[in-house]
Amino acid sequence: MYNTLCISDRLILRQFAKEDSAALQALANNRKVGAIIGLPYPYTVEMADEWIKSHPSLLASGTEYPLAIIDRICGQMVGTITLRVDKANRMGEIGYWIGASFWGRGYAPEAVRILMNFAFKNLQLNKIWAAVLCRNHASIRVLEKVGMVLEATMKEHRYHNGKYEDLAYYCLFRRKWQSEFFR
Q: What is the mean pLDDT of residues 43-55?
A: 96
Amino acid type, 125: L
**Closest listed residue to residue 129, CA positions, set 106, 112, 114:** 112
Provide the Cα torsion 98, 100, 102, 106; round to 10°. 50
Whole-number pLDDT of residue 182: 59
Q: What is the mean pLDDT of residues 168-180?
A: 94
Say yes or no to pLDDT of 47 above 60.
yes
Q: How confident is the model at residue 2 (pLDDT cuts 50, 70, 90)?
A: low
CA 78, CA 63: separation in Å to the nearest integer? 24
Residues of the chain with pLDDT > 90: what percent?
A: 86
Q: What is the mean pLDDT of residues 60-84?
A: 96
Q: How confident is the model at residue 1 (pLDDT cuts 50, 70, 90)?
A: very low
Whole-number pLDDT of residue 97: 97
Say yes or no to pLDDT of 176 above 90.
yes
The mean pLDDT of the chain is: 94
